[in-house]
Each structure stands twice: as C-alpha cells, then as structure tokens.
Amino acid sequence: MKKSYLKWVFVVGTGLFLGGCSDDNPSGPTPEPGTGTARYVVASAPVGSQDGVADYLLTTSDLTQGTISTVGQGIEQDGSYRYYLTHKGKFFSLLYGQGNPGAVTTYALDEKGALQKTSDFQAETVQVFTTAGDDILTIKVPRSGNESASWFRINADQSKIVSEGQVNIVKLAGNGERAHFTWATQVGDKIFAPYMSIKGAAPDVFGTAYPDSSWIAVFSYPSMTYEKTIKDNRTSFIGSYFNNGLAVDENGDVYGFSPASATNAGKESSTKPSAFVRIKKGTTEFDQSYFFNVQEKSGGHKISDQTYLGSGKILLYMYGDINATTGNAKLAIADLYNQTFTWVTGAPNAIASSSASYNNNTVSEDKKSVYVGINTEAGSWVYTIDIATATAKQGLKVEGGAITAIVKVK
C-alpha cells in the first residue's frame, strides 16, 4: 500500500530521483516574511519511476493558484512510506517501516515560512496516529501472531516518547478473533478507538465472522486505561485500515461512519448499509435515535473516508461503484445534522488518487472551503471545494509529482 491510502482503486506513480534537493534547504519559492500565520505543506511523490520512492515536501502560502514543482526543490523524505500530521505548530513526518522501526522527523517553520528539521528519532512502525493533549498518540497493531497492540505517547514539544503500554487485542475482541484498531480520536478526557474484528490468520487474515457489528474501545487519557467497549449492530465496523472513521463536532458529539466493507473468504459480507452513527457528548453509548444512511441517500455508494469541515458539514470520499468498495473515486458534501447528501461538481471525472483524508486538515481560514489534492492522468492539482455549494475549482498545480498529502502548519 504505497499511496492508495483511501482504499480506492488508485494507481499513483512514484518517481524519478530528482537531484538538487537538500534535507535542510527551504522547499518551494521563498515566501515574503510576514505574509501570513500559516503555510501549507504539500507532499508529492515524484512520478515516472518505480513504487517505493520517497515523497518530497513542498511549501506554499496559496493553494488556489500558481505552480510548484518537485524538480530541484523540496525536502526529500527518508523512506517511501511516510504519513504526516501537525501539532502545536510543528510538522511531523512518520515513517511506516513495514514491521521495522521507523523514523519520526519533526519540522518547524522558520521566519521565512520554510520547513527546517528540528529532530529525528526512531520509533515503532505504527498504523494509527493522532493528536491528543500535548502528544501524538500512536498505536502498533499486529494483524497476526502477537496478541498485544502497543501504544506510544510522543510529546509534541519534546519530540520523544514519554509513555507506552500494551492492549491485549484478542481479549478485547472477546469473540475468538482479534480487535484491529482502525484509528483513535481524543474525545474529552478519553480516547475512542474503533476497531475491526479480524480472524488474524492465513489465508483470511482480514476476514471476519462478524461483518454486521461495530465497536469502539474507550480508554482514559493520558493513562490509556481501558474502560469499556461501545457496541452496535446497525452497521459494520467503523472506519477501515488507515482510514479514520470518527469526527467530533463543535458540540462535542462524535459521528462515526462505516464503509460496510467487511469480508469473509475474500468476499464482501456486510449486509448493513454504509452509514453514520452518533455518540452524544458526555456519553459512551451509541445514540439509537440517530442513523444517517449515506448509502441510501447517495444512490447506493459507500463511504471510503471523511474530513470534518465544521458546523455539521463533512467531506466524504465515496467509492465509485454501486453497492461495492471499488470504482473511481467520487467526492460529496454531507450535512450530519440534516442528513443531506450532495455530490461535488467541478472535480475531474476520473480521479486516479487524492491527498489522504487524514492528512487533509485544510479547511480555509473562513471555514467556507476545503482543499483537496487530486491526481489524474493529465496531472496533479489542488482543488478548492466550496462547502456551501459543493462545487470544486482547480487551483495550484503540482508538477513532477502526485499529491499525497496537504497539511496546514501554523
């Protein structure tokens, strides 16, 4: 899984080694000092070469117009499987080491708005990463063999691990399978960690005998003491592998979606629809009065992933094929409060891939737009999507690479 983060049928080229790049040089055109309080980091995988080539990090202050390029510019990442997030004014690049230890590289913006490396240390390869309190919380989730998932708290200010522990995922599942965390989200003084129930054994490691149930493990934070599991049977598991299934709104309510993508023996086996469920603020139970059947509202399409936009609006990444988790990507804006669904217009019809949703904290300052990197056979652009009208407009062009992430750093 190189750049197909959203589990859509993506073909993202990764590219030629481009010279003239330095790990510590500013990336992209040098901005004028004092032109703003935020910069956007655009991660781009150079096109035209074999899979496994590292991303280049470029920076810009404007995603709506212009051109940036990986050619002779950008900060080359050490390792080809990188994931990104920002916390407390810093930009973190995490290496997925495929079972081996991976680097956690920290960057800060200098006075000119360029990225400068501030630390680099080794940590365990993880499949889950999120911000929580002053920390980055990461979780290493074994799909077979070892029965314990390991969690780590990385202090964002110190850029080092300050606490760690384990969770027995076989015991947590309690059904003969194992709990495979799809993501984790801070909710008040707790961590909500949805999980898939998987067999964890060949030849059907990610298959399950329980396709129509959803679970969220609740942990106290920062101790990560297990408290309980929230359960429901109106849809399948929440989120999916490397896809965050939870969104927390301004009221503190939690909305979780299921892609209804459970399988057994390699065949899709979910009989419940792809939908959103809700947990009201201050509770640890599913709200039985709320059920947003997105699959029905969309004419049969399932949710792949999401980016919460504010005021109940949410950007949905949808599978293109009806009643399946396949097909060309499609984008939509939904209203979680009114349970309405609108397809985005103005985006390319054939999206090869996009910036991963968990790397897409790029709602505009006025909360009226969201930016998404879209890669097509014709090239890669950042599109501005007007939230109110669900219309997309082509903006910044990224030459020489396929966009894998867009992260705003203040």
19 or 251, which is more confident? 251
Which of the four pLDDT bands, split at 50, 70 and 90, describes residue 21? very low
Q: In the chain, what percentage of residues exceed pLDDT 90? A: 71
Which of the four pLDDT bands, split at 50, 70 and 90, describes residue 82? confident
- Mean of the pLDDT values across residues 43-71? 84
Which of the four pLDDT bands, split at 50, 70 and 90, describes residue 52? low
Q: Max CA-CA distance within the chain?
A: 59
> What confidence score (pLDDT) does residue 37 get?
60
Indicate if the pLDDT at residue 13 is higher than 50.
Answer: no
CATH number for the domain whose boundaries are 14-409 = 2.130.10.10
Q: Is the dihedral of CA 55, 58, 61, 67 positive or negative?
A: negative
> What confidence score (pLDDT) does residue 283 get?
97
Q: What is the C-alpha separation between 180 and 182, in angstroms, rounded? A: 6
Indicate if the pLDDT at residue 3 is higher than 80.
Answer: no
246 or 37, which is more confident? 246
Indicate if the pLDDT at residue 203 is higher than 70.
Answer: yes
Residue 219 makes CB contacts below 8 A (sequence gap 6+) with: 190, 191, 193, 225, 226, 227
- Mean of the pLDDT values across residues 394-403? 94
Most confident of 12-16, 256-260, 347-351: 256-260
Which of the four pLDDT bands, split at 50, 70 and 90, describes residue 145? very high
> What confidence score (pLDDT) does residue 71 get?
87
Residue 45 makes CB contacts below 8 A (sequence gap 6+) with: 2, 3, 12, 13, 14, 15, 53, 54, 55, 56, 401, 402, 404
Give tens-digit pLDDT for 351-360: 888 887 765 5
- 254-257: strand order across its sheet: 246-248, 254-257, 276-279
> What confidence score (pLDDT) does residue 51 get?
54
Indicate if the pLDDT at residue 249 is higher than 60.
Answer: yes
Contact (CB, 8 A) for 216 and 230: yes
Give tens-digit pLDDT for 275-298: 999 999 999 999 999 999 999 999
**266 CB burial (10 A radius; 0-12, 13-18, 19+):** exposed
Contact (CB, 8 A) for 17 and 49: yes
Asked if the peptide bond before residue 222 counts as cis, ω within 30 degrees of 0, the response is: yes
Q: Which of 347-356, 374-383, 388-397 has the lowest mean pLDDT?
A: 347-356
> What confidence score (pLDDT) does residue 49 get?
47
Answer left, alpha or beta for residue 144, where phi above 0 means left and psi between -120 and 50 means alpha.
beta
- Mean of the pLDDT values across residues 297-316? 96
Give tens-digit pLDDT for 226-241: 999 999 999 999 998 8
> What confidence score (pLDDT) does residue 29 get?
38
Residue type, 230: I
Q: What is the C-alpha separation between 140 and 102, in angstroms, rounded? A: 11
Which of the four pLDDT bands, split at 50, 70 and 90, describes residue 259? very high
Q: Which helix (H) or strand (E) holds 380?
A: strand 379-386
As a whole number, the mean pLDDT across the chain is 87
Contact (CB, 8 A) for 186 and 135: no
Answer left, alpha or beta for residue 62, where phi above 0 means left and psi between -120 and 50 means alpha.
beta
Contact (CB, 8 A) for 224 and 191: yes
Q: What is the C-alpha separation between 154 and 132, in angstroms, rounded? A: 10
The pTM of the full predicted model, rounded to 2 decimals, is 0.89
Residue type, 142: P
Q: What is the C-alpha separation between 253 and 46, in angstroms, rounded? A: 40
Which of the four pLDDT bands, split at 50, 70 and 90, describes residue 53? low
Residue 120 makes CB contacts below 8 A (sequence gap 6+) with: 103, 104, 105, 106
Q: Which helix (H) or strand (E) holds 408?
A: strand 401-409
Say how many C-beta atoms besides its own lie within 10 A of residue 250's C-beta.
Answer: 9
> What confidence score (pLDDT) does residue 350 get?
84
Asked if the peptide bond before residue 348 counts as cis, ω within 30 degrees of 0, the response is: no
> What confidence score (pLDDT) does residue 81 get?
77
